[in-house]
Amino acid sequence: MLKENSIAILAGGIGAAKFIDGVSRLKAFIPEENVRVIINVGDDSTMNGLYICPDFDIIAYTIAGIVDPVKKWGIQNDTFNCLSMLELYTDEPQWFSIGDKDFATHLFRTKLLAEGKTLTGVALEIQQRLSVRFLLLPCTDDILRTMIHTVDGDLLEFEEYFVREKAMPKVESISFRGNNSAKATPQVLETLSYSKKIIIAPSNPYLSIDPILATGGIMTLLEERKKDVSFISPIINGKAIKGPTTKLMKEFGLETSCVEIARHYNSVASTAFIDIRDKEKRGAIEQLGYKVHCCDTLMIDASKKKELARFVLEKLF
């Protein structure tokens, strides 16, 4: 039975974190216990012996109110003494910037995993300690990694591509290592089955959402629930606010527009939220079978995040 006034959000990255933060500011509209977030694990990596979950941490830190307000990732007012000492010991630059407080998260996570907890179990521990009331769920407890195939023949993990190489290499294709064996957790399948509405956050579709869709059991369930699934376009007037979304689209020979995003999600979604600056694209998206809503999707501050979240929820409910 569908739970009234409940939502599941598919999420990864800063755009998703902003939208979820907006939802968290609408407690009178939707109870916190009615919001579940299914998070990409394709970015997860092991560095310096520590298990790191970038997308989970960005979202958890943002909702907890401790995210760095400038970078939009990491923890505010963090120091980097541990990183400096690692560079001294290893005699090589640490290209993945981790603050001292952030290191504590990774140490705690790695310890719990070594004790036999699942990734979902660890996620629940961390969000409880951070007083995050939304349920944050990794899309799988299995190993699933986003792999970047460059035109030069290199094979890079996501963080190697995005952070170390600054997303500069030209991409030929993207694959997901482990997708043949990675299965959605029971908590994720329950969430997608019983949430009243499912929202695909304004994330990079190829790097943040596709790994979730590649997880066993999720795509089929979304296709069955298509009439209840919506997406928020991460593209505004042909550009992405942050990250390599439009760069990838160009490299794949795709149109850099919200229409292409609609094509990408056409098998799993029936409602589209696009920016008001793209209102002339509405007809093209409607021709794909979508119900389309236009609004200001540029989340430049807390009030704009809340405004977008309210608009989306009011249209869905």
Per residue in 171-210, pLDDT tens?
A: 999 999 999 999 999 999 999 999 999 999 999 999 999 9
- Record the tokens describing residue 212, joined without a space: 């979730």
Q: Which fold has domain 3-43+133-144+178-316?
A: Rossmann fold (3.40.50)
Predicted local confidence at residue 159, as pLDDT? 96
Vertex 67: Cα angle to 62 and 70 (nearest 5): 120
pTM of structure = 0.96
Around Cβ 91, how many Cβ atoms within 10 Å? 6
CA-wise closest residue to 120 among 45, 38, 20:
38
Would you say 42 and 26 are in contact if contact means Cβ atoms under 8 Å apart?
no
pLDDT band with cut points at 50, 70 and 90 for residue 4: confident
pLDDT band with cut points at 50, 70 and 90 for residue 28: confident
Query: What digits encode the pLDDT tens for the residues 32-60?
Result: 999 999 999 999 999 999 999 999 999 99
Q: Which parts of 44-201 fold into alpha helices (H)? A: 54-64, 81-90, 100-114, 119-129, 158-159, 186-194
CA pair distance 100, 145, nearest whole angstrom? 25
Would you say 147 and 206 are in contact if contact means Cβ atoms under 8 Å apart?
no
pLDDT band with cut points at 50, 70 and 90 for residue 2: low
Q: Indicate the angle between helix axes 13-24 and 302-316, nearest 10 degrees.
A: 80
Predicted local confidence at residue 124, as pLDDT? 98
Predicted local confidence at residue 5, as pLDDT? 83
3-class state of residue 236 by DSSP: strand
| 1 has a pLDDT exceeding 60 | no
